[in-house]
């Protein structure tokens, strides 16, 4: 075959692969970008403000770790056509099923509360009252389902995901010290050792990168989208792209926080950072507020779906995004309820919002090890996943990741309960 | 009342449907599940301890 012909066929093949990737892309990018939710924004801003660029290498490491965990949900979802909650019920029985479902629902409801805290704080920068923000957000999330098509929902969410990266261009205008970034950020090391708040912030970073709801969300999403075996390589790419986007945005947030607040250990949240920047650097403040609102919105959208899908699967309700609002009334009512409960908690005067934010992590810690262990056990069942069973290398990799996460997240949970244990 | 009894019946039917685990539980898997139960017991115990200590 002539070189020209060969190039022509290669080009056609490439375009075909690109078209399939375009169709498959969605669950992986959404779940990974939703990882940079309002809580994630605050965690990265605080790590930059407290310890400058020192956390960049941790974020770089966590990207592939999140990929390893999420890729397994793709294979399990495609092969079993079951969400993670239903798969747990079927494989391990009612005890573990109810434990996972109730823990997930409680964690999700509290996580959505933190998303609303972030969104209302971001909109307060523009003088918009919290109640108005919440009503508009909940109405928007529910109206996205009126059309009753998964594809429409996914495209809207992907557009919202693109806004999550709004902070990235800011890095090019604020002239950070690139040498310093490579010297103190990319080379592994712990600022001031591992004592005090450093360990706490490392664990918070891990907690925000790998969360239980992500496992449930992506597996249900893959099932609802109807991905098939042949789509698995593209779904893997989708997850890898999402992981890369998350890492880039997280690093951008750390850089922005370092440039404007580096060494300031008094910063409390991303919302406060946006407010503080408004008088001095209004454009950066506005961008940060928009980014924080967007992060909270993607978080609320995805987290509320994770538990609604899980409860819908187990109770046998219609739970597809392809169903119209009225067709899947219990599924939508459940989703609306957890958002209204979360929104109401934020509006209660004097509500212990700080305690809630910490409590989320503790409850999540109880679910994360179980969810990850179940994932590995299920992916070793040949009768369930056939040729997509974990290989020995995948088991070693996933087992190592689970071991590290288990140790650190347990330490985080224990550290939250007993703050003095790690010198905090 | 009917709503509550309906919900209870639904939960009972879910328990019946999933009563028998549908995967082969090897010895290793059984050990892992017992370890997970113990881990959770310790974690919940700690939470209760903190709660009681705070209330006191």
- Gap from A92 CA to chain B (nearest CA, Å): 5
Residue A390 per-residue DSSP state: P
pLDDT of residue A134: 94
Q: Which of residues 2-61 of A touch B (CB under 8 A)?
A: none
| Residue A350 banded pLDDT, cuts 50, 70, 90 | confident
Phi, psi (rounded to 5 degrees) for A128 = -90, 125
Least confident of A311-325, A338-352, B32-46: B32-46
| Residues with Cβ within 8 Å of residue A402, at least 6 apart in sequence | A369, A372, A373, A376
| Residue A344 banded pLDDT, cuts 50, 70, 90 | very high
Distance CA A215, CA A285 (A): 33
Q: What is the DSSP string of A181-243?
A: IIIIIIS---TTTT-THHHHHHHHHHHHHS-HHHHHHHHHHHHHHT--GGGHHHHHHHHHHHH
With beta carbons under 8 A apart, name residues in chain A contacting B21.
90-93
With beta carbons under 8 A apart, name residues in chain A contacting B22.
90-91
Q: Report whether pLDDT(A225) > 90.
A: yes
pLDDT of residue A195: 60
Answer whether A417 sits within 8 Å of B46, measured CB to CB: yes
Q: Which residue has the higher pLDDT, A341 or B56?
A: A341
> Which residue from A97, A377, A384 is facing B29, i.e. has the nearest CB?
A377
> Which residue from A90, A383, A417 is facing B47, i.e. has the nearest CB?
A417
pLDDT of residue A356: 74
DSSP SS3 for A268: coil
Answer whether A97 sits within 8 Å of B18, measured CB to CB: yes
pLDDT, tens only, B1-52: 677 888 889 999 999 998 888 788 788 888 988 988 888 888 777 777 776 7
Section A1-5 average pLDDT: 81
pLDDT, tens only, A155-204: 999 999 999 999 999 999 988 988 988 888 888 877 666 565 677 777 77
pLDDT, tens only, A105-147: 988 998 999 999 999 999 999 999 999 999 999 999 998 877 7
Distance CA A390, CA A378 (A): 9
Distance CA A146, CA A405 (A): 39
pLDDT, tens only, A237-291: 999 999 999 999 999 999 999 999 887 778 888 888 999 999 989 999 999 999 9
Query: Cβ-count burial of B40 within 10 angstroms (0-12 exposed, 13-18 middle, 19+ buried)?
Result: middle
pLDDT of residue A264: 72
What are the structure tokens assigned to A134, written together? 């919440």
- Gap from B4 CA to chain A (nearest CA, Å): 15
Residue of A nearest to B19 (CA): A93
pLDDT, tens only, A73-111: 999 999 999 999 999 999 989 999 999 999 889 889 989
C-alpha distances out from residue A326 to A139, A143, A312, A345, B21, Å? 15, 12, 14, 27, 34
pLDDT, tens only, A353-407: 766 776 676 677 667 888 888 999 999 988 888 889 999 988 998 888 878 877 7
pLDDT of residue A75: 95
Distance CA A214, CA A69 (A): 9
Answer whether B19 sits within 8 Å of A314, measured CB to CB: no
With beta carbons under 8 A apart, name residues in chain A contacting B33.
92, 96
> Which residue from A91, A315, A366 is facing B23, i.e. has the nearest CB?
A91
pLDDT of residue A422: 58
Please give the mean pLDDT across all residues of chain A.
87
SS3 letters across A163-193: HHHHHHHHHHHCCCCHHHHHHHHHCCCCCCC
> Which residue from A93, A383, A417 is facing B50, i.e. has the nearest CB?
A417
SS3 content of chain B, % helix, strand, coil (to 5): 80, 0, 20
Distance CA B48, CA A349 (A): 27
Distance CA A244, CA A33 (A): 9
Interface residue A362 vs chain B (CB under 8 A): yes
Among the listed residues A89, A137, A156, the one whose alpha carbon sits nearest the alpha carbon of residue A335 = A137
pLDDT, tens only, A26-60: 999 999 999 888 888 888 998 898 888 988 999 99
pLDDT of residue B4: 83
- Gap from A370 CA to chain B (nearest CA, Å): 7
pLDDT of residue B24: 80
- Gap from A297 CA to chain B (nearest CA, Å): 31
| Residues with Cβ within 8 Å of residue A40, at least 6 apart in sequence | A208, A209, A250, A295
For the entire predicted model, the pTM comes to 0.90
Answer whether A377 sits within 8 Å of B23, measured CB to CB: yes
């Amino acid at each position: 075959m002539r070189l020209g012909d060969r190039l022509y066929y290669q080009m056609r093949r490439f375009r075909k692969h690109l078209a399939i990737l375009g169709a498959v892309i969605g669950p992986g990018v959404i779940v990974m970008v939703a990882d940079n939710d309002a809580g994630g924004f605050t965690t990265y801003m605080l790590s930059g403000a407290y310890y400058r660029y020192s956390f960049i290498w941790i974020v770089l490491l966590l990207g592939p770790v999140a990929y390893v965990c999420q890729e397994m949900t793709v294979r399990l979802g495609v092969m079993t056509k079951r969400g993670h909650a239903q798969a747990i019920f079927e494989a391990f029985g009612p005890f573990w099923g109810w434990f996972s479902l109730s823990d997930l629902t409680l964690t999700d409801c509290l996580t959505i509360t933190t998303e609303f805290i972030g969104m209302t704080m971001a909109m307060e920068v523009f003088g918009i009252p919290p109640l108005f923000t919440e009503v508009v957000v909940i109405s928007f999330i529910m109206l996205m389902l009126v059309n009753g098509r998964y594809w429409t929902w996914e495209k809207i969410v992907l557009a919202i995901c693109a806004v999550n990266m709004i902070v990235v261009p800011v890095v090019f205008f604020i002239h950070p010290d690139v040498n310093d970034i490579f010297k103190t950020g990319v080379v592994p090391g712990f600022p001031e050792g591992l004592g005090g708040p450093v360990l706490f912030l490392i664990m918070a970073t891990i907690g925000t990168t790998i969360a239980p709801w992500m496992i449930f969300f992506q597996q249900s999403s893959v099932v609802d989208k109807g991905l098939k075996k042949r789509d698995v390589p593209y779904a893997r790419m989708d997850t890898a792209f999402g992981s890369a986007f998350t890492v880039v945005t997280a690093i951008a947030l750390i850089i922005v926080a370092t440039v404007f607040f580096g060494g300031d250990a008094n910063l409390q949240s991303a919302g406060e950072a946006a407010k503080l920047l408004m008088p001095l650097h209004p454009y950066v403040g506005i961008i940060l507020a928009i980014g924080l609102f967007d992060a909270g919105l993607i978080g609320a959208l995805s987290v509320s779906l994770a538990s609604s899908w899980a409860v819908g699967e187990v109770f046998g309700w219609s739970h597809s995004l392809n169903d119209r609002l009225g067709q899947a009334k219990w599924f939508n009512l459940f989703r609306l309820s957890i958002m209204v409960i979360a929104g109401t908690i934020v509006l209660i005067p004097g509500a212990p919002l700080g305690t809630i934010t910490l409590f989320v992590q503790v409850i999540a810690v109880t679910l994360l090890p179980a969810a990850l262990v179940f994932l590995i056990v299920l992916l070793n069942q040949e009768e369930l996943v056939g040729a997509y069973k974990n290989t020995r290398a995948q088991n070693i990799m996933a087992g190592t990741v689970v071991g590290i996460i288990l140790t650190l997240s347990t330490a985080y949970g224990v550290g939250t309960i007993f703050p003095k244990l790690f010198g905090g | 009342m009917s709503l509550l009894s309906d919900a209870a019946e639904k939960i009972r039917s879910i328990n019946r449907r999933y009563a028998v685990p549908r995967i082969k539980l090897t010895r290793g898997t059984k050990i892992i599940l017992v370890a997970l139960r113990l881990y959770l017991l310790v974690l919940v115990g700690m939470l209760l301890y903190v709660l009681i200590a705070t209330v006191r």
